[in-house]
Homo-oligomer: A and B are copies of this chain.
Amino acid sequence: MTDVLEADGAADEAVADVPDGATVLIGGFGAAGQPIELIDALRRHGATDLTVVNNNAGNGDTGLAALLKTGHVRKIICSFPRQSDSWVFDDLYRSGRIELEVVPQGNLAERMRAAGAGIGAFFSPTGVGTPLAEGKEERTIEGRDYVLEYPIRGDYALIKAHTADRMGNLVYRKTARNFGPVMATAATTTIAQVVDVVETGALDPENVVTPSIFVDKVVLL
């Protein structure tokens, strides 16, 4: 059953039970699909010792970067931390105050998909023969080389969708879809911020991207 939170402070209410030590999947690719209000709420909430999974490691001084700056993130799992404006992360990393696991973007998506789909591990074609496969199990199958990758599960997923119905079905908008649908399947508790909530039945069942079963809380912002 999905809770729809609409009152002032809904974002804070939604993340209030994130415990210290949680693994939090955070959607978005660039600004598109970034659940910035939920990230800000998580920062205010103050849970510590977090592991964060995102494609990047924060930009500028807001959103994920601001969360990192609190020092409450122990580890980040991402594909592309280093950017022109990732100075918050860069500083934490170079001074040894944050742990980094760099994962090829497709493995990152597929490892979360595996978590959501009950796959124990999978042989991936990506990364074979590279430094990112070091120490990993490799296998040749039908003449092609693969590396064994394991699921990435979240305790929470914070994602941004466009419209939800009151049951929690979600649709996205353009490339802001990115990691949202995958992360929603990979977390124990999925919280989606949206810009619109419609009555149940108002979304065409053919076009639902994330079925309500994957969504625990909807925050209307």
Which A-B residue pairs are the 7 nearest by beta carbons?
A120-B123, A120-B146, A120-B141, A122-B122, A207-B207, A121-B123, A118-B125
A199 within 8 Å of B (CB atoms): no
Cα of A162 to Cα of B124 in the assembled complex, Å: 33
Report yes or no: A171 in contact with B110, Cβ–Cβ below 8 A.
no
Interfacial chain B residues near A141, Cβ < 8 Å: 120-121, 150
The range of chain A's interface size is 20 to 34
Report yes or no: B122 in contact with A144, Cβ–Cβ below 8 A.
no
Cα of A86 to Cα of B189 in the assembled complex, Å: 44
Copies of the protein in its oligomer: 2
Interfacial chain B residues near A142, Cβ < 8 Å: 120
Report yes or no: B121 in contact with A119, Cβ–Cβ below 8 A.
no
A117 within 8 Å of B (CB atoms): yes
Apart from A110-B117, A119-B123, A120-B146, what 9 extra A-B contacts exist at CB < 8 Å? A118-B125, A119-B122, A120-B139, A120-B142, A121-B139, A121-B141, A122-B122, A122-B123, A207-B207
